Structure 1
Amino acid sequence: MRLLDIVVITVCASAALRLEATAAQPGYDNALVAFALLASVFLFPLFGLYQTVRSNILWHCVCAPFVAVVLALVVALLVAIILLDPYRPAGDWFTRWMYLSGLSLVICRIVERSLCLRRAEQGARTRAVAIVGSGAHCRHLLRKVETTPNSIYAVSTIFDTGPEIAAAPGVVPAFRDREGFADFVRRYHVVEVWLALPLSEENTILEFIDLFRNDLVNIRFVPDVSGLALFEGEMVNLDGTSAINLVGSPLSSDALVSKDIFDRVFALLAVFGLAPVLFIIALAVKLSSPGPVLFTQRRKGANGKVFNIYKFRSMRAHETAHGVVKQATRNDPRITLVGAFLRRTSLDELPQFLNVLRGEMSVVGPRPHAIEHDALYQNIVDDYVHRYRIKPGITGWAQVNGFRGETDSVEKMRGRVEHDLYYLSNWSFWLDMRIVVATMFKGLVHRNAY
């Protein structure tokens, strides 16, 4: 903010000078600007402009910046008049500079305060955690969370791995039964499990990872050692305690934000650009057979949140048994002529840009499966559930590598999941661009699309 204030005052001086009709005095004017910057360096801290405050927002964001910059410029003017006599600023330049600087600093403070409030609001969403461990390290971790000011974490329970169960601080319940512990985590929606275990307890670590293999729970290893950068895995900071992500979101929050921005912009351009095509397809679907234009089906999105996915209807309206999803097969009699063309060319997927605009899907990501298939394969295919760590996509790495269409065998599903997990581990903006381009040239039409 100090650097920004200096830049704002300098830019406003230059902008005000350009609007001045009277001839300028470059040497003297530059000296006055230098005096103003020097005065701001000493005066602004006296008004508390660089302190984090939660009260008197009107004073700190509006009144204080404006008064401070006016005072700094007046002091600079007095110094310039004394040292540079008979220099006087030309015309209305000084007044215009003062108003521009005051207004700009107020705007900067309001924007900065808004960002701080947003971060504070996010931090206020306390995350419930469960700790697995025993001994001094576990107690230290519990104490660390409880004594950290404004911590975003709250310990809900512990699992004691020691020979004798220790009393948990406060009213935190303690378990020694794994299933009871897991039930508690699921029932009370505990979002993270911290494994505060020695490095030697590899088997215990693996057992707890396996215990939550079908849950979207972040599992973090919190060892009592230094120099963990030598280990593989992402290092994170949990209120000052180092941890290694064992199971968690593969993309950082910054990456998710940039990906979401790209998704929304791309989808908006696609919807507007393809509007005539969407209208023609909708008309063709409506004329091909009785029924709605769009077909909706419940799918899982990021973190397992269920949403309705949109597609152009490609089959004749028919009844299905509750809880049973029959995938389309080659020469499926349910598929209409228009629907067959749409499925071969993937044009039936175009309405999913609406899902992207709604924030339910990405342009690129693991393809979402029917919920019934999720329930079937998550117990058969290793790490299947982690496909839903991010938003599902209209296209993906698996699709451009031939894994699309019917998954009539476990091997095909394993291949698809392997490609999805590769994408999650190696995500970058350029990989998304590569997949989009590959989809345009070889992913729209495929022999497995029917």
Structure 2
Amino acid sequence: MLSAVEAILDPAALTLSLWLVSVSIEGELLPPYLILAVIVFSITFPGTSRLQSSIMEVIVDVFYSWFWVVLLLFFLGFATGYIAEFSSQTLITWLWVAPLSQVGVHLALRTAAPYLLMLQGPPQRAIIVGMNEQGVALASRIQQTRYSKIELSGYFDDRNPSRLYETEHGQLLGRLRELPYFVKENRIQYIYLSLPMASQPRILHVLDELKDTTASIYFVPDMFITDLIQGRSGTVCGTPVISVCESPFTGSNGLIKRVSDIVLSLLILALISPLLLLIAATIKLDSRGPIIFKQRRYGLDGEEIVVYKFRSMRVCEDGDTIRQAQKDDSRVTRFGAFLRRNSLDELPQFVNVLQGRMSIVGPRPHAVAHNEIYRNLIKGYMIRHKVKPGITGWAQVNGYRGETRTLDKMQARIDHDLDYLRNWSLRLDLHIILKTVLIVLRDRAAY
């Protein structure tokens, strides 16, 4: 019930606020506002779940989301000329009333949530079979989830108490042979099997014993505590599988990512073309050598690609050993230092994006020589190549731009790259692009 309410909450708040503002100012609900309401509802449905977020997170998220919705609506309005059909007073009023109404309904839902849960009946009792690491982790998540109807009764496990994980969430209720009787006597609705995959005979025996109950049974595989990258369920030739490490750009996500890359790259290249010509001429006058520096990098799936940059050094290194640029590096030209400090040397990579070798946002590509070093030193290093490398990335906007002097700094960069893979969304890409522009204007970490 809560999920259904949350799905309709944001679209309903935006639509109703538009109608109320329109009626109060125009005196009636005119057809253009009905059409706009349909567009807004389509864009924002289903709404975002925010019950688990803090109030401050709700406010920030609502205004952030509303900013992009308004940007899109005004773009469509000006592009089609349809914005002339609306009263400026009505639109301006709605711009601030709409997000306030969203925040208001979300706060109201928090007050009403306990009562909505009561309407759904008493809590659903659950037990976990296997007092191990993933079982305890599942229990912790159940207990920490606000407005959950699951009430954890405890654990069943056959192992010696000294081998069981200590936890504050529930207690050991008995051994596996006692499980069916306990389930029937205590009306347990949910059973989570957290036994190791290697214990197949035990699992089959437990399932057989539970056939005489009406409890819903779920299997919590060992990978529950694994660091999943885009973990999702699926089938292979009819066999159910759970992905452990997968690219976020599959299916429609891949199409969205590619279209956004092409549109934004063409727009940016059109805007900066005079700057590109000016930089090219200055490089030619500043020092001898080519204007464009080509370097081999690892791209999607670890395949080698050629990446373009404006030449900023007197040398064009692309061998088995490459020294990262350092502060006051003698190899950097006078104009090259300016380019690197302001990240202008990366601009030709928008051509790489159009070629399909790179994306605007993604893990920054390292030289092949550096990759061969770090893939042996950092666990999971090559997972970053499940996606195309980017001109900017999540690591760069979080302070890991420029030279990485120590292994722990490179480790932090890789951690951010993998975090990007886990949590990708088009909104995150737009956030990174905006933050990159702000950082480049004031940051001097790159040299």
TM-score, normalised relative to structure 1: 0.49
The structure with the larger Rg is 1
TM-score by length of 2: 0.49
